Amino acid sequence: MKLPKSPDVTASNGNGQAAVATDGDSAQPHSAGQEVFRRLTERPADLLRFATAGSVDDGKSTLIGRLLYDSKQVLTDQLEHVEQASERMGHDFLDLSLLTDGLRAEREQGITIDVAYRYFATTQRRFIIADTPGHEQYTRNMVTGASTADLAIVLVDARKGVLAQSKRHAFISSLLAIPHVVVCVNKMDLVDYDEAVFDAIVEDFDQFAARLEMPDVTFIPISALLGDNVVERSQAMPWYEGPPLLYHLEHVHIASDRNLIDVRFPVQWVIRPPSSSVADYRAYAGQVAGGVMRPGDDVIVLPGGQRSTIAGIDTFDGAVEEAFPPMSVALRLADDIDVGRGSTIVRTQNQPTVSNRFEALLCWMSERPLDRRRRYQVKHTTRTAMVGGLDVRYRIDVETLHRDASATTLELNDLGRVHMELSAPLVFDSYRRNRTTGSLIVIDEATNETVAAGVILDTEVEEIDTDAKTERSPNVRWQGTRVTRERRWQALGQPGATLWFTGLPGAGKSTMAAAVEERLIAAGKSAFLLDGDNLRHGLNGDLGFDEAARRENVRRTAHVARLLADSGTIALVSLVSPYAADRELAATLHSSDELEFLEIFVDAPLELCEKRDPKGLYARARAGELSGLTGVGAPYERPADPDLVLGTLEESVERGVERVLELLASRGIVTD
Amino acid sequence: MPATYHLSHLRTLEAEAVQVMREIAAEFERPVLLFSGGKDSIVLLRLAEKAFRPGPFPFPVMHVDTGHNFPEAIEFRDRRMQEIDERLIVAYVEDSIRSGRVVEDTGPRSSRNALQTVTLLDAIREHGFDAAFGGARRDEERARAKERVLSFRDQFGQWEPQRQRPEVWALYNARIRKGEHARVFPISNWTELDVWQYIAEEQLEVPSIYFAHDREVFERDGMLYANSPFIELMDGERPFSARVRYRTVGDMSCTGAVESSAATLEEVVAEIAATEVTERGQTRADDRVSEAAMEDRKRQGYF
């Protein structure tokens, strides 16, 4: 490659920006000012985000310091600070790594705590560096810093060769689908700038990288400490014919890294001014996540499945003819359909997957390991859903790429493949296809912590483990229907809802639920009783009574109830459902679909239930014939805030039914 | 792909900031936008217009008034608020002093800058705000280089660097406990030059003190301060007239001016592009107190 004599950096002493020409007399501030302004505005620079990963000793901070210093981005007061600090630390050289260290704790402990962001620019480009540290939290930090990177710099110490750590960084870069990777072989000065050393490292790395998906890898021999091939071309390595690092950063082609094919528009916000200011204006605001949108395009709104046409694309500065990533715009649709935050607008002939089940690779970021008993949420684009099932398929050793299928949990900095099942469907693509619609975070509901970052896998392409723990349906497209819920309910003359009766065995749930069902039917309503025992004869006939089976029992029943409610029926569920978390999941399943869910606690003292013992369960449990009966050998978690409490000790069935009907009336489910 | 699908770096930063503002407005219950009349918050206000117009802002605007502000900034603030027709809340440091919540330092080096923190936290509590948009940028200072876009504060308004949540892609985890709040920095990734370039491109009005003007100043610790009733002169400090402009709009008692002849936006942009000293190092006395000055203040709940 032909190179300019000196790298393409102008005398740039601006605050992280391109600068004025310093040659000649600058005694004409006006013309100079206009000239700089003209240059800045006439050719808008583009933005390159890159991530650096490396440990304390492989010279990463020095490399960044060198990039900033040699491209004249270091300002006088910053330099003064580095000079003073270098002196205090007893260095006889300018410690450029001090330019990038941030917090006091780091300065004291000599480590980098977290991702730090740096900014600089040349006449070619504007750069954002995500500088990630390499100590024990490396994986979490690198994922954080590199999630949006266009390019990753992986540092290799020339004396040590490709170590486990470099492999780790390469693997994470590949996992995050960073389109460009630069391997900087650093400290070449310490190996006498030997070409053979460089070649051996290139070969070694290539061998490892062949097992990963890495579209573009470039190798550059450098010395960050002395500045060889960082900004200036090295005189000491004439055998290297490629460009120095900065030149590469300035010219690497990133425009085609975006997905301009698949239209994806997750709705963040509905713009709806008061009718007094703008009549009947309604627009869906969001950031384009993929594809090019134009007015007149036929679109479908997922997961609902309503179809319409783009009537206009608005911005504060007026309507535009096209919108593409990463523009933030607002869409107007031709039809008055139900679109809100969490909907994704796509082209009708190019649709993503809509499913509540998928396979993902998770990077665990919390000190508290993955625990299936904890309650997690997933945030994906502008949707949030509860996690119902989370099965670890295997953990990946990031150094050997070995898969440990015996793993059942993930700990801090672990990477693992999981199967996830959520309370509501997501609208997604595989991460390789789209970094926005293919990424998610996992949040612990109790601590609010972000515990994991995940990328959704393309399960149609990638192999599905044959030894998977549970057989799962593949991703199934959510089938939109032309009949809306409103029309269905209108035809029935009532809205659907779910009444969830929970309580100890023998508390009187089934009696109550059956009596309510009878009253509703008699009043001409559509109601249906889902009795836990009855369901175990059919739908749930394969389930036992351990904790996992009970949860599955609740999950399936909740799904059936939701379908009934959606259809316009009042579903009456009578199920012990002893765990609060499972009931909550059932509730979320409904609320995320905007369906009414009423928790009715049938409260009776254990002694009374045991005395009633309609099925002889307590007697068998006491006799040791039955283990794990709720109330005897297994806990019952009382509802903290039920919609209604029925005390079957002190009130009659008739009185109980009245109170349930009052509740239904007060919620507008049953009128008259 | 045709080259036309190109967004300049400034428009990319704008689109990302708008995404952040819409996300926060959707996920928090009571956000507020902090507006000082300074250039960064002027940009924030424009970004809010970009995000929510033709609808109203889904939050009020709030200014913490130290009572020592530049009159030009206050005048500008009121005019701008009238133009955009949104609700302004003013929280006065004076009120915190009068009610005994804070005690004012005295002497020539005293400043109300630190007192703002208490007034701000009190106002956040009083109005029940759970998210506050601010115009802080990561390029301002080394401690800020590590701050998240969404920065969590505990019930005492404190920032714990170790407890910050990882921020991946543009997926912001907005869950907080009662009493906690988040500071939100939509222009985290902007530099000082980006801000000026954006102001120029958008043709935004800024307070007149950002442009070169003649002012009575005196020199202290190598910086030029306005001679005002809010700052006591020390021995040997003599006021003189100079042609200056401000790079930041803070409290008059701690914001220094720079000698400059830049009288238009174009000239300011050119001057920033050629500057040799970072914005804070040049003009903010509050950062000079100790090497880790900014970090200490952030821990206390400062922006």
Same domain for A84 and A163? yes
Strands (DSSP E) contained in A397-522 are 403-404, 415-428, 439-444, 450-456, 497-502
Residue A25: Cβ-neighbour burial (10 angstroms; 0-12, 13-18, 19+): exposed
Residue A469 scores a pLDDT above 50: no
- The closest of A632, A581, A585, A582 to A606, measured between CA atoms, is A632
The residue from A230, A257, A284 where one domain ends is: A257
| A13/B contact by beta carbon, under 8 A | yes
Indicate if A233 and A142 belong to the same structural domain: yes
- Higher-confidence residue: B287 or A291? A291
Residue A555 lies in a domain: yes
**The total number of structural domains that make up chain A:** 4
In this model, does residue A387 exceed pLDDT 90?
yes
Please give the average per-residue pLDDT across B176-180, as a whole number.
87
Smallest Cβ–Cβ distance between A441 and the set B49, B161, B171 belongs to B171
How far apart, in whole angstroms, are the C-alpha atoms of residue A214 and residue A170?
A: 9
Dihedral over alpha carbons B260, B263, B265, B266 (to 10 degrees): -80
User: If contacts are CB pairs under 8 Å, which of residues 428-467 in chain A contact chain B?
Assistant: 435-436, 439-441, 443, 445, 448-450, 453
Closest Cα in chain B to A330: B51
Gap from A625 CA to chain B (nearest CA, Å): 46
Q: Dig out the tokens for A51 from the structure.
A: 């991530």
Residue-wise pLDDT tens digits, A348-359: 989 999 999 999
Which pair of structure tokens corresponds to residue A73? 């981005």
Indicate if the pLDDT at residue A482 is higher than 70. no
- Residues A520 and A627 grouped into a single domain: yes
DSSP 8-state class, residue B286: G
CA B291/CA A53 separation, integer angstroms: 27
How many C-beta neighbours within 10 Å does residue B179 have?
12
Whole-model pTM? 0.74
Query: Does residue A33 sit at the B interface (CB-CB below 8 Å)?
Result: yes
Residues A336 and A368 in one domain: no
| Chain B contact set for A124 (CB, 8 A) | none
For the ranges A298-312, A497-511, B109-123, the lowest mean pLDDT is seen at B109-123
Residues 6+ apart with CB under 8 A from A237: A188, A193, A195, A221, A228, A229
Nearest by CB to B49, which of A19, A316, A379? A316
Per the model's pLDDT, the better-predicted residue between A207 and A634 turns out to be A207
- A376 versus B156: the higher-pLDDT residue is A376
User: Hey, what are B266's tokens?
Assistant: 């174009």
* Contact call for residues B278 and A80 (beta carbons, < 8 A): no
- Cβ proximity of A647 and A638 under 8 Å: no
Q: Do B51 and A328 touch (CB under 8 A)?
A: yes
Residues A380 and A516 placed together within one structural domain of the fold:
no
| Min Cα separation A75/chain B (Å) | 5
Residue A569 has pLDDT above 90, yes or no: yes
Residue A26 clears pLDDT 60, i.e. is over it: no
Which residue among A311, A331, A347 closes a domain? A347
Residue A30 lies in a domain: no
Judge whether A51 is closer than 8 Å to chain B, CB to CB: no
Residue B32 has pLDDT above 50, yes or no: yes
Residues of A in Cβ contact (< 8 Å) with B262: 29, 33
Please indicate whether, in this complex, the C-beta atoms of A29 and B275 are within 8 angstroms of each other: no
Give the tens place of pLDDT for each residue, A100-124: 655 444 555 544 456 788 888 887 8
What is the interface size between A and B, counted as CB pairs within 8 Å?
234
Examine the domain organization and report whether A367 and A324 are in the same domain.
no
Tell me if residue B166 falls in helix, strand or coil.
coil
Interface with chain B: mutation pick from A26, A37, A109, highest number of B CBs within 10 Å: A37
In this complex, is the C-beta atom of A154 within 8 Å of any C-beta atom belonging to chain B? no
pLDDT at B222: 78
> Do the chains contact at A315 and B50, CB–CB below 8 Å?
yes
More confident residue, A649 or A412: A412
Q: Tell me: pLDDT of A77 over 80.
A: no
| Catalytic entry in A61, A577, A591, A666 | A577
CB contact under 8 A, A44 and B143: no
**Does residue A370 share a domain with residue A227?**
no
* Separation between Cα atoms, residue A342 and residue A477, nearest integer Å: 17
Q: Which residues of A touch B2 (CB under 8 A)?
A: none
Residues B237 and B206: beta-carbon distance below 8 Å:
no
> In degrees rounded to 5, what are phi and psi of residue A403?
-100, 125
Type of residue at A584? E
Which residue of B169, B177, B295 is in closest CB contact with A147? B169
Does residue A464 sit within a domain? Answer: no
The whole domain housing A427 covers 354-456
Final residue belonging to a domain, choices A257, A288, A303: A257
Q: Reply yes or no on whether the pLDDT at B30 is more than 80.
A: yes
Chain A residues with CB-CB distance to B274 below 8 A: 13-14, 19-20, 36
Cβ pair A441:B173 closer than 8 A? yes
Say if residue A79's pLDDT is above 70.
no
The pLDDT value given to residue B274:
72
Q: Mark whether A68 and A200 lie in a shared domain.
A: yes
Question: Is A18 within the bounds of a domain?
Answer: no
Identify whether residues A443 and A314 lie together within a single domain: no
Q: Is the pLDDT of residue A225 over 60?
A: yes
The number of residues making up chain A comes to: 672
At A50 the pLDDT is 94
Rounded (10°) angle between helices B39-52 and B192-202: 60
Shared domain check, A109 and A52: yes
- In this structure, is residue A24 part of a structural domain? no
Q: Is residue A11 part of a domain?
A: no
A19 pLDDT higher than 90: no
Residues of chain B in contact with residue A45, where contact means CB-CB under 8 angstroms, are: 8-9
Judgement on whether residues A81 and A179 belong to the same structural domain of the protein:
yes
Superfamily of domain B9-190: HUPs (3.40.50.620)
In the structure, what pLDDT confidence band is assigned to residue A601 with cuts at 50, 70 and 90? very high
pLDDT grade for A15, boundaries at 50, 70 and 90: very low
**pLDDT mean over A283-293:** 97
Q: Is A17 on the interface with B (CB under 8 A)?
A: yes
What is the percent of chain A where pLDDT is above 70? 83
Instruction: Give residue-wise pLDDT tens across range A321-330.
Output: 999 999 999 9
Q: Is A473 a catalytic residue?
A: no
Q: What is the pLDDT of residue A392?
A: 95
Report the b/e string of A332-371 with b at 16+ CB within 10 A.
Answer: bbeeeeebebbbbbbbeeebbbbbbbbbbbbbbbbeeebe
Cβ neighbourhood burial of A10 (10 Å; 0-12, 13-18, 19+): middle
> Any idea where the domains of chain B sit in the sequence?
9-190, 195-287
How high does pLDDT run on average in chain A? 83
Assess contact for B64 and B116: CB atoms under 8 A.
yes
Q: Which residues of A touch B16 (CB under 8 A)?
A: 287, 326, 328
Q: Tell me whether residue A517 is in a domain.
A: yes
